[in-house]
């Protein structure tokens, strides 16, 4: 390949790399928010919430990301929602990463022994202070 072609395209490549980083970051942040909600459902004492969270995790961890991206993009377009491709990509990445992040958060919550929470309650800590 000729070096002139690479140098000519360098500006486009850096712009595309910046877009990729921005979309990835936005998807991860959205995934964390959704993942925290799914994690709360999974550790809930209500059986239907736990099952709903488990189904969400099974679906989004089991379906390949490319299929999710295509599904979100074309599903929204089919029902008349003209969403830009970047927004659809952020949404699909957020939904996918939420399933993985919720399992990470659930593992972290389950790693704390129950006795730690009981000891903090006995010492007079509030519910928010216990989880700090």
Each residue's pLDDT tens digit, 16-25: 999 999 999 9
User: pLDDT (tens digit, 9 = 90+) per residue, 29-49?
Assistant: 999 999 999 999 999 999 999
Does 126 score more than 80 pLDDT? yes
The pTM assigned to this predicted structure is 0.83
R_g of the chain computed on alpha carbons: 21
The two tokens of residue 124 are 């007079």
Q: In whole angstroms, what separates CA 24 from the centre of its chain?
A: 10
Q: Where are the domains of the chain?
A: 29-105
């Amino acid at each position: 390949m000729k070096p002139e072609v690479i140098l000519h395209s360098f500006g486009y490549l850096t712009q595309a790399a910046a877009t990729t980083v921005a979309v990835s970051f936005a998807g991860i942040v959205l995934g964390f928010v959704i993942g925290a909600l799914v994690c709360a459902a999974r550790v809930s004492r209500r059986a239907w919430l736990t099952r709903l969270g488990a189904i969400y995790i099974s679906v989004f961890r089991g379906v390949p990301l490319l299929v999710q991206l295509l599904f979100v993009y074309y599903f929204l377009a089919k029902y008349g929602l003209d969403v830009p491709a970047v927004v659809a990509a952020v949404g699909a990445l957020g939904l996918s990463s939420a399933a993985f992040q919720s399992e990470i958060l659930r593992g972290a919550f389950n790693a704390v022994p129950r006795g730690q929470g009981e000891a903090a309650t006995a010492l007079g800590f509030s519910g928010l202070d216990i989880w700090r």
